[in-house]
């Protein structure tokens, strides 16, 4: 069974950092695309970052230079390092497996982890 489990969310002050983890089971991240998507409180979905199976990455402009996606294939885990956090980064963060060309269709999602940026 394919599963994705996020962790690492919590309360952080503006300007602070957090690292989110996404542990996969039922498939190997090494040959799959994994994205991070977030949802602000009462808001819609926003794609943030993609990790290609070959290790390349792609980012939304809103997080480029602040967030870094990476993977540890030995742990079947993808990470999202978030720096210089702002209030508008408050959201539930989901990781999702991508299918199709460049992994742009998300067929499995984790349950999400809540990040709250507040002083």
CB of 34 to other proteins, least distance (A): 13
CB of 47 to other proteins, least distance (A): 4
* 37 close to 91: Cβ distance less than 8 angstroms: no
| Rounded CA separation 58/66 (Å) | 13
Closer of 63 and 82 to other proteins (Cβ): 63
In order of 9, 41, 55, 93, 102, the CA distances from 5 in angstroms are 12, 20, 20, 11, 22
Site residues (CB under 8 A) for other proteins? Answer: 35, 44-47, 58, 60-61, 94, 96, 99-102, 104-107, 109-112
Compute φ and ψ for 31, nearest 5 degrees: -120, 30
Closer of 74 and 102 to other proteins (Cβ): 102
Instruction: Name the β-bridge partners of 47.
Output: 37
Closer of 66 and 99 to other proteins (Cβ): 99
CB of 119 to other proteins, least distance (A): 27
CB of 13 to other proteins, least distance (A): 27
Closer of 14 and 116 to other proteins (Cβ): 116
Which residues contact residue 17 at a Cβ distance below 8 angstroms, ignoring those fewer than 6 apart?
81, 82, 83, 84, 85
């Amino acid at each position: 069974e394919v599963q994705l489990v996020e962790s690492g969310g919590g309360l952080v002050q503006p300007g602070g950092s957090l690292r989110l983890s996404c542990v996969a089971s039922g498939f190997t991240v090494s040959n799959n695309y994994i994205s991070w998507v977030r949802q602000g409180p009462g808001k819609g979905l926003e794609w943030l970052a993609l990790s290609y199976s070959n290790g390349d990455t792609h980012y939304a402009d809103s997080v480029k230079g602040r967030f870094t996606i990476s993977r540890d294939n030995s742990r079947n885990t993808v990470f999202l390092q978030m720096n210089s956090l702002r209030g508008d980064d408050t959201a539930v963060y989901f990781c999702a497996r991508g299918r199709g060309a460049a992994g742009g269709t998300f067929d499995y999602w984790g349950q999400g982890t809540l990040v709250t940026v507040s002083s």
